[in-house]
């Protein structure tokens, strides 16, 4: 039995890589792959449910846990770099393989809309059904205590609302239109009209963002010494004058 727990973003730098933005390659993504909350199907995956599977399988090689697009086993999407439970949530860092055309398209769409989400696909190992009178406030009817994790997918909508993509490596906008789309994608504006107003405000205050470079001081002009003031010639002339005076004095 293969269970697919959901598919949904917020751009948040809290789970940030230690490398600077310039060192992070294009296609780098990260976020929350799974969380201990009741999803849209009434399933609740407990924190740490996949830890044993991750340790045994690893993230590379034929048996490693895969990164897929849309739970499609024929569409591997890249390499999972990190996958571990931190603060009750399964955190993921991954590098999309942009050499594949469908992955590159997925990456471009992800950047344009400000992010997608994650979902896990696994086989049930240890679980329990919850009776109606035992349900907590979350309303879960199936609690997954342990699962054999097969893959993590990039998806449009998560069943688990916390399974969000929190970071996408993007290039800075090169045009006004790209800048306004980025404002909308990252939640600063809700419409193109609002984004355009911010653009106009930034333009009117552009001088505040300009780096002022002090003017270079002009180098002092190099003046070639006048031939008559050449020290070597002046010394020779002085010696000659002394000799002339001596000759005149002896006459």
Spatial separation of the C-alpha atoms in residues 116 and 70, rounded to whole Å: 11
Spatial separation of the C-alpha atoms in residues 224 and 222, rounded to whole Å: 6
* Residue 233 main-chain phi, psi, to 5 deg: -75, -35
Contact 139, 186 (CB under 8 A): no
Spatial separation of the C-alpha atoms in residues 195 and 191, rounded to whole Å: 6
The CA-atom distances, in angstroms, between 117 and each of 3, 5, 7, 10, 72 are 17, 12, 6, 9, 15
Domain spans in the chain, listed from the N-terminal domain onward: 2-171, 173-205
Spatial separation of the C-alpha atoms in residues 41 and 128, rounded to whole Å: 15
**Alpha helix segments (H runs only) across the chain:** 51-57, 101-113, 176-185, 192-204, 231-250
Q: Which residues pair with 126 in a beta bridge?
A: 146
Residue keyed to tokens 């599977």: 53
3-state DSSP assignment of residue 22: helix
Q: What is the pTM of this model?
A: 0.65
Question: What is 150-162 written as a DSSP string?
Answer: EEEEEESS-SSTT
Q: Could you read off the pLDDT tens digit of each residue along the chain, which spans 251 residues?
A: 343 443 333 334 344 444 555 578 999 999 999 999 999 999 999 999 999 999 999 999 999 999 999 999 999 999 999 999 999 999 999 999 999 999 999 999 999 888 999 999 999 999 999 987 777 777 899 999 999 999 999 999 999 999 999 999 877 777 787 777 677 666 677 777 888 888 888 888 877 777 766 766 666 666 555 555 555 555 665 666 666 566 656 55
CB atoms within 10 A of CB 155: 21
């Amino acid at each position: 039995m293969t269970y697919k727990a959901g598919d949904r973003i917020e751009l948040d730098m809290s789970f940030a890589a230690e490398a600077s933005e310039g060192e992070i390659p294009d296609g780098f993504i990260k976020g929350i792959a799974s969380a201990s909350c009741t999803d849209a199907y009434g399933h609740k995956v407990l924190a740490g449910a996949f830890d044993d599977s991750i340790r045994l399988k690893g993230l590379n090689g034929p048996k490693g846990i895969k990164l897929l697009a849309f739970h499609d086993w024929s569409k591997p999407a890249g390499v999972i770099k990190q996958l571990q439970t931190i603060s009750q949530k399964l955190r993921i860092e991954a590098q999309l393989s942009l050499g594949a055309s469908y992955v590159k398209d997925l990456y471009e769409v992800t950047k344009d809309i400000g992010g997608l989400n994650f979902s896990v696909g696994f086989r049930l190992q240890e679980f329990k059904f919850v009776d109606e009178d035992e349900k907590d406030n979350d309303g879960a009817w199936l609690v997954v205590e342990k699962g054999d994790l097969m893959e993590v997918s990039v998806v449009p909508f998560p069943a688990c609302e916390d399974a969000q993509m929190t970071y996408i490596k993007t290039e800075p906008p090169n045009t006004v239109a790209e800048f306004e789309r980025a404002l909308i994608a990252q939640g600063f504006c809700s419409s193109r009209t609002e984004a355009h107003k911010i653009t106009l405000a930034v333009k009117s205050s552009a001088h505040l963002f300009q780096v002022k470079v002090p003017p270079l001081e002009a180098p002092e002009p190099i003046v070639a010494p006048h031939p008559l003031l050449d020290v070597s010639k002046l010394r020779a002339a002085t010696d000659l004058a002394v000799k002339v005076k001596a000759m005149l004095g002896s006459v």
